[in-house]
Amino acid sequence: MNTPRIPAYRYSVRFEQAVMANGWKPLLRQDYRFEDIYQEALQHHYATCPPLVKMRTLYSKLHNANGRYAQWMKRAIAAAIKAGVLKDDDFPNTKNPRYIRTLHVTFAMLLLAYGPNAAYNRTHLEKLAKYTGFPAPITKRARAEEKFAIKLKSLTEELDARHRNIDFRFDQQVPIASHIVDFVITVTKEYQTSVVVNKFVIEFDEEYHGSIRQKRKDRERDTELEALGYKVIRLGKQNAQEWLGTCYEICYPLHLPSAIQEQINLLIKTHPRTGKRFIPPTNLDVCLEYLQTIGAIKSRSKQPLVDIANFLHQNGVSSKRARLQYQGKEMRVLVIEHEEDN
């Protein structure tokens, strides 16, 4: 049985023997979910064989690892104790951390979460959590993210108070699949029962997210989350405050791609006789004002139909101006020629 590997930890032969001895044998692919069997095998194995992590090997894979293992360990232990997640007597060699060779995975993850460069260690945390079955701890946040978390929670409470039949729930450090996301806002609407209408994942990105490698990882992560029905919103220090202000103004969490598509769907009408899809010239000012508020357009002219045509073109919708008989009178409209698949 081929078993996956994680940084600084390899599955032992005892694990493979435990899997096979307890009857977890491969069936047809369509008859079982490998993840379920895998988690069951992990729980059985770790009940008798605790997962130990080689700390020096793990440290060598961390961001900015410069060989000063003892210094990193000392700072990580001190930070975790100060945060109250560890106690002084959890580590017998606290004064000489260079002698700490292996740790239980729960302690190793706590040091990753609260130690130096904690924001860069999320990938290692997620891998350890996924391959050992132990939940990852909440990571230490930068000061800017802490301030944003307070404001985001306040925004959620304000939106919940403003809407009568819509509930907004705010959660932090939420495990989703194999990831841990910063914040989740769940929007439910009260019909006869509560129905989830939107799930927003808000990620507060630090400076390291600007690297090419990290951007690629973020795109892959976003694709996985979107496949699970989440709308991903990525913010940073530069645009977080502006985004919060916009959300207060429109009374809803702003996910720009879906907000733009919603406005396009509201604009386009179908002619009852010809079947043509078109945009009438009525109520365009209200739409343009909303689009300017959410940042979908930068400026407006004195010709609303031209502004709408430019907006459609920027978002992959081709249109042309024409005259069309509608609602008992002839009017100048935008006829939709082609719309790209989103």
Same domain, 63 and 114: yes
Regarding whether 92 and 124 lie in a shared domain, the answer is: yes
- Give the 3-state secondary structure of 250-284: HCCCCCHHHHHHHHHHHHCEECCCCCCEEECCCCH
CATH number at residue 306: 3.90.1150
How confident is the model over 151-175, as a mean pLDDT?
91
Q: How would residue 229 be classed by pLDDT, with cut points 50, 70 and 90?
A: very high
Nearest to 209 by CA among 232, 186, 241, 243: 232
What rounded mean pLDDT belongs to the chain?
A: 80
Query: What pTM was estimated for this model as a whole?
Result: 0.62
What is the mean pLDDT of the segment spanning 261-289?
A: 91
| 229/205: higher pLDDT | 229
The string of pLDDT tens digits covering residues 95-149 is: 677 778 888 888 888 888 888 777 677 778 877 877 777 777 766 666 677 788 8
Are residue 212 and residue 294 in the same domain, yes or no?
A: no
Domain match, 83 and 72 both = yes
What pLDDT score does 33 carry?
A: 47
pLDDT of residue 95: 60
Average pLDDT over residues 216-244: 91
Q: Report how far residue 52's alpha carbon sits from residue 100's, in angstroms, rounded to the nearest whole number.
A: 12
Tally of domains within the chain: 3
Are 128 and 169 within one domain? no
The answer on pLDDT for 47 being more than 80 is no
Over residues 191-195, mean pLDDT: 79
pLDDT of residue 312: 93
Least confident of 96-100, 297-301, 302-306, 310-314: 96-100
Pairwise pLDDT comparison (248 vs 16), residue with the higher score? 248
Residue that finishes a domain, picked among 204, 235, 253? 253
Write out pLDDT tens, residues 2-33.
444 433 333 444 444 554 555 544 433 343 44
- Provide the domain limits for residue 157: 143-253
Q: Work out the average pLDDT over 39-50.
A: 66
Q: Render pLDDT for 53-97 as a digit per residue (tens, 0 to 9).
A: 888 888 888 877 888 888 888 888 888 888 778 887 776 665 677
Where a domain ends, among 197, 220, 253?
Answer: 253
Predicted local distance difference test score (pLDDT) of residue 92:
64
